[in-house]
Chains A and B, each alone.
Chain A
Amino acid sequence: TQLLEQSPQFLSIQEGENLTVYCNSSSVFSSLQWYRQEPGEGPVLLVTVVTGGEVKKLKRLTFQFGDARKDSSLHITAAQPGDTGLYLCAGAERETSGSRLTFGEGTQLTVNP
């Protein structure tokens, strides 16, 4: 069973600060996705990274996939209260297994105004 560990588990910062969330595994994933989940709602996909070393930017969010495709990071610049939420990473196993995703336990981010 492939496992994904996210750190930190909780993060509370002030508006305007930068932060990085990490997602690590001892296993290789064919791709890795980052989701954001609001209370009482389902996860919403933010980005998918596929290639080792890949970097993707989504406004103030920067996502990176490790060279060995075992880890990923999410960096938020100048965080805003609207960024508050649960951030989940999810790894896709080999494509032959369809979209069975292995999720990390999430990082609960709180951005205080």
Chain B
Amino acid sequence: NAGVMQNPRHLVRRRGQEARLRCSPMKGHSHVYWYRQLPEEGLKFMVYLQKENIIDESGMPKERFSAEFPKEGPSILRIQQVVRGDSAAYFCASSPMWATANEKLFFGSGTQLSVL
């Protein structure tokens, strides 16, 4: 049973380019969460999605960031016109149902984004 798959593992972009991060949840999971981990900081919630729906995007920056989880295919976190401050590790997690406080989240290995 494959875990949460994220790709690419490492992504290098120049300032102003676009970054696309992909996340395939665990088999049978329909809920996806994106977190960002800046250097020397803890993980910060960004967005929570179900298939074709954004449930909670209160942690997403207002500009340049967007996320989707289409009916088919992986969830995509898209960052337009990247800046150096976007450099971070981006983690995806999935869960099988409306995750209560007791529900276990399964995290992927992350995508390390470096902006030159």
Contacts and interface: CB of A to CB of B under 8 A. Distances in A.
Q: Do A and B bind each other?
A: yes
Interface of A: 4, 29-31, 40-45, 48, 50, 88, 90, 92-95, 97-106
Interface residues of B, number: 31
A69 B111 CA distance: 33
A15 B56 CA distance: 43
Nearest to A101: B45
B105 A101 contact: yes
A70 B35 CA distance: 23
B45 A100 contact: yes
A98 B48 contact: yes
B12 interface: no
Interface of B: 4, 31, 33, 35, 40-45, 48, 55-56, 58-59, 91, 93, 95, 98-105, 107-110, 112
Determine the main DSSP class of B at the interface with A.
Answer: loop
Determine the main DSSP class of A at the interface with B.
Answer: loop
B101 A31 contact: yes
Query: Considering residues A99, A100, A105, which has the most beta carbons from chain B within 10 angstroms of its beta carbon?
Result: A99
A50 B107 contact: no
19 contacts: A30-B101, A31-B102, A40-B110, A42-B4, A42-B108, A43-B107, A44-B107, A45-B105, A48-B102, A48-B104, A50-B101, A88-B43, A98-B48, A98-B56, A98-B100, A99-B100, A100-B48, A100-B56, A100-B59
A93 B105 CA distance: 14
